[in-house]
Amino acid sequence: MVLWVGLAFSRRASRSAADYFVSGRSLPWWLAGTSMVATTFAADTPLVITEFVRKEGIWGNWWWWAGVPGHMLVCLVFARLWRRAEVLTDNELIELRYAGRPAAFLRGFKALYFALLYNFIVMGWVIAAMATVLKSVVGVEGWTGIWTCVAVALAYSAASGLWGVVVTDFLQFFLAVGGTVVLAVAAAAHFGGLEALVAAASAVRPAAAAMLPPASEAAVFSAAWWASPAVKTGIFLCFMWWASHGADGGGYFIQRMSATRDERHAMKATLWFAVAHYAVRFWPWVVVALASLAMFPDHQAHREGYPLVINALLGPGWRGLLVVAFLAAFMSTIDTHLNWGASYLVNDVYRRFLRPVSTQREQVYAGKAAEVGLMVVAAVIASFLTEIGRAWIFVWTMGAGVGGVLILRWFWWRITAWSEIVALATSVLLAFGFEAWAALQAGPLWRPLATPLQFGGLVLEQHHQVLIVVPCSVAAWLVATFLGPPEPRERLLAFYRRVRPGGWWGPIAHEARLAGEPVLRPVVLLQWAGGVTLVYGLLFGTGALLFGTGAAAWGCLAAAVAGGGVLWWAMQR
């Protein structure tokens, strides 16, 4: 099916770079939003959720649950701004907002950084996860499994561009979710119901089914308090949603928002993503993760817990369908990262610096070639990744301090290209500095990515390191902002007239004399609060229905309805 889609859309995608990378800016919200959800559901996702639940319990997922406020901010504010900007990639915005050599350097550097280093790590762990599933369930070893997955995903992605990606994502999402629901039902039936399953998992790990971090009785500022679940969750909630490199959308989310028909479709797509990402698809994975904890309590390779349940509970036929579901999830992520990474290399490197006079057809061919190269290197990197969850957190740490400047560049005229350069450089250097420090401490036992550090009597886990990375990065870019000259007035005026963001633009806004409302208005705060309540209410209400009490479930769902009502009312205004 996906190969047919690739052929069917290949002619449409080959007309221009805009058709190949942003579907001619004609995607409806339901297609763009579902593609976002499918992209974040890869073969690695159920495996990582299983790692979190087996190691810490359900509450360990606060690492990504803490992103709800940020995603609602993207939905209500940045979706409209990105669609107004009408850029092919988010890096193109850099030279709309800033001027001169620093802007050109920043655009090229970020394109190479995210298309290569960041993208290789992400695609590497996704391929490694698919290889784990094939090895555990089908018995296909190592490189055979990796290169088979690579060939399937690359074939249709390179042929059809973003059109083929989003259409296949739509089909693959429902196939992948359907497979995980089947396995969750089988896991619950194996134990005689969800209540018995939770009891069996709780016998192995008492807090396995807890959605909130267990309270710690340790004294404040003691080593035990420093390592407590509450501190870990608090750090995620305080920094995750605004401090990271995805604070104003993130690369492939921005690509989908830019590809929609208009601002309203961009907002609806992102809202559908937030609801489906957090509240719809998550709980079947948790049911299977708890079952793996109860069935295989001593298994130390935690990410293998999910495929172990597949092997234990499903026979021929159903097991094959689960493999197909994982392949669908795998391809829906890989195809996006191939197309998105290629868009950076073509639009922000090849067309900007190497071949400014290249034709549209030449750019499309360059995109296809870039996808092949990205896929081959990512497959090689996949063989070196051992713990997917550690790679997830390390990638976040590399960009943990740049979120503030990414948000403020839209709303504060004083932000400059040097602000972004210094913010990104500080975060990346500190992240790799921590890894070098860990290597010196651990010697030959060092495991790359997200390694804990010893500092006196305290252990600095990755979330503790963020307490150093974020303040240092913010301080560094603020100094760079105030010490350096502002951007040229003409560039600021052109940007403000194009995007109309509102905020602290002072004389620039007055001189622009714009008609119409800017995006940043007081009612947005009310919209944001309603949206956050809606998503968290649905998330925890569903979890309480499955594992908790009826009263808690209906209370959370009632809060979700109230939050949704406030969001709808405020959006009408």
pLDDT tens-digit map of 65-114:
999 999 999 999 999 999 999 999 999 999 999 999 999 999 999 999 88
How wide is the angle at C-alpha 171 spanned by C-alphas 167 and 176, nearest 5°? Answer: 135
- The residue-averaged pLDDT of 173-200 equals 92
pLDDT at 92: 94
Q: What integer best gives the mean pLDDT of the chain?
A: 85
Name which of 55-59, 146-150, 409-413 the model is least confident about: 146-150
Name which of 296-310, 402-416, 490-504, 506-520 the model is least confident about: 506-520
How big is the chain, counted in residues? 573
pLDDT at 217: 46
Domain-embedded: residue 45: yes
Domain that holds residue 84: 27-209+224-487
Q: 420 CB contacts (<8 Å, ≥6 apart)?
A: 94, 98, 106, 402, 405, 406, 409, 477
pLDDT > 90? residue 433: no
DSSP annotation of 315: -
Residue 87, φ and ψ in degrees, nearest 5: -100, 155
Considering the chain, what percentage of its residues have pLDDT values greater than 90? 42
> Cα-Cα-Cα-Cα dihedral of 536, 538, 543, 549, to 10°?
100
Q: How many domains does the chain have?
A: 1
Q: Is 493 helix (H, G, I), strand (E, B) or coil?
A: helix
pLDDT band at 354 (very low <50, low <70, confident <90, very high): very high
Name which of 108-122, 130-144, 421-435 the model is least confident about: 130-144
- Check: CB of residue 564 under 8 Å from CB of residue 275: no
Name which of 55-59, 383-387, 559-563 the model is least confident about: 383-387
Residue 175, both tokens:
């196939």
Domain-embedded: residue 172: yes
SS (H, E, C) 264-313: HHHHHHHHHHHHHHHHHCHHHHHHHHHHHHHHCCCCCCHHHHHHHHHHHH
pLDDT at 280: 86
pLDDT > 70? residue 515: no
pLDDT at 389: 53
> Residue 443, CB half-sphere, CA atoms under 13 Å: how many?
0
pLDDT at 465: 81
pLDDT > 60? residue 13: yes
- Check: CB of residue 498 under 8 Å from CB of residue 85: yes
Instruction: For residue 276, give the nearest of 85, 442, 120, 75 by alpha carbon.
Output: 75
The residue that leads in pLDDT, 146 or 177, is 177
List beta partners, residue 455.
458
pLDDT at 507: 84
Alpha helices in 305-387 (DSSP H): 305-313, 318-343, 360-382
pLDDT at 79: 94
Considering the chain, what percentage of its residues have pLDDT values greater than 70? 91
The residue that leads in pLDDT, 72 or 159, is 72
pLDDT > 90? residue 257: yes
Phi-psi region at 326: left, alpha or beta (left = phi > 0; alpha = psi -120 to 50)? alpha
For residue 301, give the CATH number of its domain: 1.20.1730.10
Buried b (16+ CB within 10 A) or exposed e, 245-278: bbbbbbbbbbbbbbbbbebebbbbbbbbbbbbbb
- The residue-averaged pLDDT of 161-188 equals 89
Q: Is 124 helix (H, G, I), strand (E, B) or coil?
A: helix
Domain-embedded: residue 173: yes
Residues 33-51: tens digit of each pLDDT: 999 999 888 878 898 899 8
| DSSP string covering 30-44 | HHHHHHHHHHT--TH
- Check: CB of residue 538 under 8 Å from CB of residue 567: no
List beta partners, residue 27.
260
pLDDT at 232: 83
Domain-embedded: residue 492: no
pLDDT band at 214 (very low <50, low <70, confident <90, very high): confident
pLDDT band at 445 (very low <50, low <70, confident <90, very high): low
Domain-embedded: residue 545: no
Residues 14-25: tens digit of each pLDDT: 778 888 888 889
List beta partners, residue 260.
27
- Count of Cβ atoms closer than 10 Å to residue 220 Cβ: 8
Distance CA 519, CA 84 (A): 11
Longest dimension (CA), the chain: 70
pLDDT band at 219 (very low <50, low <70, confident <90, very high): very low
